[in-house]
Structure 1
Amino acid sequence: MQSKNEQISTLIEINEELENYFSNTIIPQLFVDAELRLRKFTPPAMKQFDLKDEFIGRHLEEIRENFRFPTIIDNIRLVIDTGTILEKEIQTTDMRWYQMNILPYLIRKENKTDGVIITFVDITSRIRDLKEQEKLITEHELLLDTIAHDIKNPLLALGLTIQMLKRLPEKSMEKYPILLGNVENSLLQMKKVVNDLVDSRWEKHKYQPGTELLDLQNIIEDVRLTLAPQILETKATIKQEIQISELSFARRKLRSVIYNLINNAIKYTPPERSPEILIKSYKDDEYIVISVSDNGIGMNKEELESIFDKFTRVRLSCEGSGVGLYLVNTIVSTAGGKISVQSEPGKGSVFNVFLKV
């Protein structure tokens, strides 16, 4: 049994440990009590949100502008009222992105929430990198596809020209047959190089680089961060029913598939309603199925027949190049999979991606 002095000494020691923790942590962190008064913050929070020592004890209403996030008080109240942890990505008015975690501060003896601890992790650079990466992937895929499909056309034209030259009179030019033969040999060599590139190397590696064991939920999280501005602007909700999470595929290819389907679901939702997206995964015989459904504008029969064509866009009023679904279909089909689509005008769409186990 500790004496009173021993108890006081223990509390002082614990408080000193807390002070050391708050002084040395590199993450912006706040402690707010149940009355929404600021009790403590870490030095990084002082720098990031321009907090000052004299703010200690103030109600958050007095200093909410420092956080540059309008709904922070509502979020804190929700955690205090429910006792649940809140995790969300937020964008502050200075256009930075944070992973914000609000944890209830529990008094276990009284079984009540006496405040919250809030942490902020700056993810601005990660979101920027993900967006840039997705842009480069799309451009890269389109470039490769265009080269592979279009480079044979000029070669074919050159071959036809040579055939025509063969049928022309030689006009007593002694070297004409030799020169023509050289041109033809060069053409054959060019064709061989291109065929080797397209039919073997390029086709082998184009849509299957670096196959690895992936966690589908991690891929979805990366895509969600990439599309964070669009999700925030449209108030989109993304729900998941993941039965199968592990699968083998190329990481950037799977990201491109998920990114394009979610991006389209957001983009093709009427402005008068918020996008509602449901992502499912399950096993179906020899396939792992990834299903993405939305409450968007939907498509009629004619539109469904052409959505996977290159440069085809369902609605010209929406931004885009018309290559997203074309790339998705090419990635999946080249990997031995397939895609099915169910859609009705005004009732949304369901894209089912079948990936071979």
Structure 2
Amino acid sequence: METSPSLTNTKVLDLLEEAYKKRINDLKTSIQLAEEALQISKELEDMACIGKSLSQLSLFHMIIGDFDLSINMAKEAIEIFEQTGDDKGIADAKYTIAGALYKTDNYNLGLTYLVDCLKTYQKLDDFHNQARVEKSMGTVYEFFGDEESAIKIYRASIESGKKADDLNLQSNAFNPLSGIYLNQGKIKEALELIEKSIAYKKESNDVRGLAFALYGRGKVYTVTREFEKAEADFLEAEKIHREMGEKLGLAMCYHKRGALYIKMNRLDEAEEMLVEALQYSNKNRIILIKFRANLLLHEIAKKRGNYELALKYLQQYIDEKESVINDRTAKVIESYDVINEMHRLEQDARVQKEKADLIEKKKIELDSFFYRISHDLKGPITSLMSLNYVAKLEVKDETALRFLDDYEKQANRLNTILDGLLNLTKMSFNEDSKQEIDFEKIIYDCISSYKFLANYDQVEFKIDVDPSIKFEAEWALINTVMQNLIENGIKYARTEDNQPFISISVKQKTDKILIDATDNGIGMDQETVEKIFTMFFRVNRKIEGTGLGLHILKRAIERLNGEVEVKSELGKGTTFSISLPK
């Protein structure tokens, strides 16, 4: 007697349900059950069941850190769900992709996927999955350094978990929330919350979640200097993560155990642990643990008096953190529209109509934040640079002088970035003060100001300004545009195989001013052209810069209500075409 398709479909769904339940304590069995469900679904040629099986398999592979395989399976599942019209299925697969992205280094795109998921789950009143997504969003906020928003979304996750009547979901948010309280010096609250999480995890037999809770308690014990208890928690968490195949959790434990051993003055064990954390993070693209391990290795080398090695680790930390922070800063800015979208989900129809005002407010808040931070940091940075100058007059040791030179280089770079941010934010806060613009004078003044650049003497300048132009605007904005066009043209000139030139023309056409700046420099491919106005993006890391210049240029043109177009070809040169309304 043949088994009916409906009975077989039921078997597939039962297998998947059992696989999902077992994910908290037996991932190997979860994967086996989901693979069995997929095989049956393919034999039946049941697309809906194939999609569900692929989606669950992708989730399990994401949990154990097989990120590429997980993303590929999730995308295949989404294609099927789109054909079958399964919105919840699409959201489930997108949640998995988001997890794979933010657990490595693509927080911005991960957040985008999470917001899409949240929309769907809210429409369906699916509190179980709302709690999962909100907890993940809190993690991304923490990566961005936004603890206030992280706390808010973790609390929302706890409330969703209560509505779903699921202790695991609630305790999933307890763990990171305890960590934030610990960072804020609220040790008692942190310990109470993490103990509550451990109790919930044991009650629900969530072995994998218990490992993260034990890790959280180990951090509290480290701060309270109960070192033996901390070590026991980290070791137990490591054991579980290793058995469950949880790569991110394992890397976190390696790093924290290394930090613990430094506090215990067990430097050999600390070094061994942190080297393992570094190697493991390199292998699995866990970038945050990678640069943090370098900082602790620098601390160990310094304690041992090995200043050459300390400098090496410190430089690696600076380079990697600079890359992460620049990327994260740019991604925070890119993500503001996404974050606004999440906030709008919580608003009623009346507030929806105020969308434009909310976005503008966020932009103003962001500008205000950068202005305050940049302004407050200028004084200390200037003092540090002055102290470094005095130190170099007194110090004669060559090794020490080399350290001071490296220190000076980083301090100058930070000062340049702060200057750029201040110039950027001044555009938003300065009041209009229009005056008649003498383009020719501004251009030649800007050219003269860059005589110190390496390529300056080799570049030919071709200037063509229509003398009949009558144009009023904010002088500072026009000067900013010209400065950045000229500086980039000089810095990115090709001097080895041609006569480099920068050609600037300013013409008037009916009601517009047209500015064209052309060079025959190194040029860019189309993919690079699309990124050049992003804050902190640098075309060529071998050429010194902050990645702020073209972003500032774009903001200045927007302030002038103008438009800019860029055409470039790699190895041949670049043309900026700017149109300003009169």
Return the structure number with greater helix share.
2
Return the structure number with greater strand share.
1
- Tell me if TM exceeds 0.5: no
Q: Which has the higher contact order (CA 8 A, sep 6+)?
A: 1
Structure 1 or 2, whichever has the larger Rg, is 1
Category of TM-score, reference length = shorter chain: 0.3 to 0.5
TM normalised by structure 2 equals 0.28
